[in-house]
Structure 1
C-alpha cells in the first residue's frame, strides 16, 4: 500500500501551538504528515524540531533549497489554523509566501483541500471573508466554517477557543 501524504499548512494563529493534536489524529488515520508553515507560525508558535521529530519530516518554511529533498506529491491538504490574512490572499490569488504559492498550485491541480479558519467574530463579520470562502468553495476547497467546523470567538477571546478548535473536523474532511 502506498503512503497517503497530507500537507498540513500551518498559519500564525493560536491553535498552531497545538498542531501536534492534528498531526497525531492524521497519523492515526494513516496519513504521513508534512508540515509547511508561514513565517508568522514559525516566529510565534512552532517548535520546528519538535514537529520534525513528531512527523519524521523537516518542516518546510520556504522554497526547496539545493540539496533539500522535494516534498512528495500531496494526496490532500489541510490549512489550519487558517488566518483571515491567508484565506483572503489565497482567494485573491496573491502568492507572496511559500504557503500561498503552494496553495495556489495545489488548488489549480485539484488536490483535495480543507481549510479550517481561526478568526474572531469581528473578522468573520467582514463581507470580504465570506467572498473569499465562496471563491475557495468554487475552486473545490472544503471550507470548514460554521456548525461542524470552526465557529468564531469574540475578539480577544481566542485563548478560550483553543481547547475547542475542531482539528478532528479537518482530518475527517479528508477521509
Structure 2
C-alpha cells in the first residue's frame, strides 16, 4: 500500500486541544500525518508536543527551518488547515506568510496540493468585511472551505469553546478530494 501524507495545520482555537484524536482518526484512514501549528497553537499544546511527535512519527513544526536544512517531512498529498482562525484565514488569503503554518498552506496552493480548510471564529469576527473577501479568495484558489451549512457554524462572540467542531467532516472532505488523485 502506498503511503499518503497529510499535512494537518492548526491555529490557536479551542478545537486544537483535540488534535491527538484527529491524528489518530486520520491514521486509521491510512494517512501519514505531519502536524504543523501556529506559534500560539504550539504554545497552547506545548506540554503535548513530544507526545504528538511520537504519535505522528514526525517533528511537530511551528517555525521555519534554517536555509540549507533538510526538510523533515515527506511531500504532502493533501493539506487540512483546521481549526483556521479569523487571523489565519485573512493572512493566508493575503499571502502573509510570516508564520510557518500559513506559509506551508500558501505554498500548497501553488503546488496544486488538494487543500481543505475549516475556519473557526465567532460571528462577530466573521462579520468583518475582510473575512468574506478572504474566504472568496481561498475558494477561488481551489481551497475547499467547510464553513457555514457545510462545516463550522460560528457562534456568538464571548464563549471560548465552540459547542461543536466537525472534525470528522474535515477528514471526510480530505478523503473525498484525494480519492481520485491518489
TM-score normalised by the chain length of structure 2: 0.89
Q: Which blocks of at least 5 consecutive residues in structure 2 are unaligned?
A: 176-182
Aligned to 2:83: 81
Asked whether the equivalents of residues 120 and 158 of structure 1 are also in contact (C-alpha less than 8 Å), the reply is: no
Aligned to 1:71: 73
Q: Residues 89, 69 of structure 1: CA spacing in aligned structure 2 closer, same or farther, 3 A cutoff?
A: closer
Q: Which blocks of at least 5 consecutive residues in structure 1 are unaligned?
A: none
Asked whether the equivalents of residues 58 and 72 of structure 2 are also in contact (C-alpha less than 8 Å), the reply is: no
Asked whether the equivalents of residues 77 and 112 of structure 1 are also in contact (C-alpha less than 8 Å), the reply is: yes
The CA distance in 2 between the partners of 1:134 and 1:108, in whole Å, is 17
The CA distance in 2 between the partners of 1:62 and 1:94, in whole Å, is 15
2:156 to 147, 154, 157: 154
Deviation of the 1:63 alpha carbon:
2.0
**How many residues get paired?**
173
Cα root mean square deviation, aligned:
1.5
Aligned to 1:94: 96
Q: 2:97 is paired with a residue of what secondary structure?
A: coil
Which stretches of structure 1, 4 residues or more, deviate above 6 A after TM superposition? none
Deviation of the 1:24 alpha carbon:
1.6
Aligned to 2:178: none
TM-score normalised by the chain length of structure 1: 0.92
